[in-house]
Amino acid sequence: MGWTKGLAKAGVTVREFNLNKRLELWTRAQIDGTNLFNFDAALDITKEGLYGQLWAFDPDVVVITSGFFTEPEMIDRIRSKGKLVVMIHTESPYEDDRQVALAAHCDVNVVNDPTNIDRFNQVAPTVYIPHAYDPDVHHARGGHRKFDFSFIGTGYGSRVEWFEQVVWPSDAKVLFGGNWQTIDDGSPLAPFVMTQRDECVDNTETAAIYRSTVCSLNRYRREADRPELAEGWSMGPREVELAACGVFFGRDPRPESDQVFPMLPVVEHPGELSDLLAWAKAHPDLRQRAADEAAAAIADRTFENNAKRLLDVLDV
């Protein structure tokens, strides 16, 4: 986990409690093919494990990332024991209605997009800290261009609809990976999905795929709690990670991306992607020059630097 490593590199003693993995363990526990626990029971067991770890480790600060499956009463109970609670909200602006509700129970909040930061600050102190990369994972070393194009990420309906309109060159080597269970066997994307459609791709494998790619693309999701929450300001993690891996990519425009990556082309329509891919293959030197400039532009956006910034905010 990037934040765990970043805090450790910044000199903090860190213990990780992976709530999602533990919850998955208990929800899958079976005897003779019968599940032992429903979701609510599995969550209760997982929460008790968390409280036990808090008692044993006795941390000064509890950092919660994303807040999936985190209930307000869990946060309140942790704070009642004198622990400072920080929540890192990773789904801004799309899920800010849910995130603001959780933020009200925390001491400090971090958002990955400042579009609605005023709403957060109305309920608790909040800062914007941008997405980051892990230099041990996201780097350009050892890359070879095995694929012409790759995209790793969740197959939201808006992305499926967009990518299904792309006309790929007949000889193009294309890879899609991640959670693409929304497509069916008849989708033109189906032959390109190289993983199980319901499986995500971990960070290490994702970075290796990026380093094996001539060209990629960042395409933001359009799904949000409300239509008004679909438009963001900041770059997403994919852009930062692609740049750190030295990959040339097209980008979905946003104000921060426009500021940081003027050297990379904007791709808004499906018909533009095949043209971009053809250009990237025909101009390897220009392509790599742009990728190198992009890598330099985000060189300081590491998890360690983000951790140091958070520590400054907390004054610890």
User: What's the total number of domains in the chain?
Assistant: 2
Which regions in the chain score pLDDT beneath 70? none
CATH of the domain at 287: 3.40.50.2000
Q: Judge whether 244 lies within some domain.
A: yes
Phi and psi of 178, rounded to 5°? 115, -155
β-strands 248-251, 174-177 pairing? unpaired
β-strands 126-128, 108-111 pairing? parallel
Residue 205 confidence (pLDDT):
93
Do 306 and 280 share a domain, yes or no? no
Do 275 and 154 share a domain, yes or no? yes
Residue 138 confidence (pLDDT):
97
Residue located via tokens 């009642």:
80
Residue 142 confidence (pLDDT):
85
| Structure-token pair, residue 84 | 């400072």
Do 152 and 275 share a domain, yes or no? yes
